[in-house]
Amino acid sequence: MVLFVVLIGFQTFSLPGQFAHMAQESPEHAYLRWPLTAVTVFWVLCVQVVIVSTWQLLNMVKNDRIFTEASLKWVDLIVWAIGAGWAVLVGVFLYVGFNADDPGGPILLFLLTMGVTVLGLLMVVMRALLRQATTLRTDMEAVI
């Protein structure tokens, strides 16, 4: 909950303020102010979706309702949020990669893209495992 509130403050005040300051300090990069603000706010929104979905899944675990169809919707939401964030990250990586003067930024973005890729694939595997476990539990309850 605290992380979610901190992210809202970050999203509302810190990121727009940071890029406004950047535009004042570097007028030659001022054109990037709004695209960078939009992209970073979107990424924070993706993280917020993952936090809320995880919170809901933890409540389902607490109430012994994790192996239900309802839990699959929350896991799907996590996968979609990670996928959307990944797609924007790939776009940023390609833009920076084709316009960079030194390899530091593109290498960092490449590593970040690979990390998010692994996270997304892990969530796809976890979703498949949850789906199998839900089916098994439903079948076992039908037998009993």
Name the phi and psi angles at 26, rounded to 5.
-130, 80
- Examine the pLDDT at 85 and tell me if it is beyond 80: yes
Q: What is the pLDDT of residue 137?
A: 86
Higher-pLDDT residue of 32 and 1 is 32
Q: Which residue has the tokens 């037998």?
A: 143
CA distances from 122 to 73, 113, 117 (A): 17, 14, 9
Q: What is the pLDDT of residue 2?
A: 86
Per-residue pLDDT of 91-121, as tens digits, reads 999 999 999 999 999 999 999 999 999 999 9
Residue 63 counted as domain residue: yes
> Which domain range does residue 125 map to?
33-142
Query: Encoding tokens for residue 115?
Result: 């990390």
Residue 58 counted as domain residue: yes
Residue 4 counted as domain residue: no
Q: What is the pLDDT of residue 93?
A: 97
Stretch 23-34: mean pLDDT, rounded? 91
State the total domains in the chain: 1
Residue 3 counted as domain residue: no
- Examine the pLDDT at 36 and tell me if it is beyond 90: yes
Residue 98 counted as domain residue: yes
Q: What is the pLDDT of residue 5?
A: 87
- Examine the pLDDT at 144 and tell me if it is beyond 80: no
Could you give the CA distance from residue 144 to residue 134 in angstroms, rounded to a whole number?
A: 15
CA distances from 128 to 46, 134, 140 (A): 21, 10, 18
Residue 79 counted as domain residue: yes
Residue 93 counted as domain residue: yes
DSSP letter assigned to residue 64? T
Give the long-range contacts of residues 60-66, CB within 8 A, separation 24 or more.
66/130
Residue 17 counted as domain residue: no
Output the pTM of the full model. 0.90
Stretch 115-142: mean pLDDT, rounded? 93
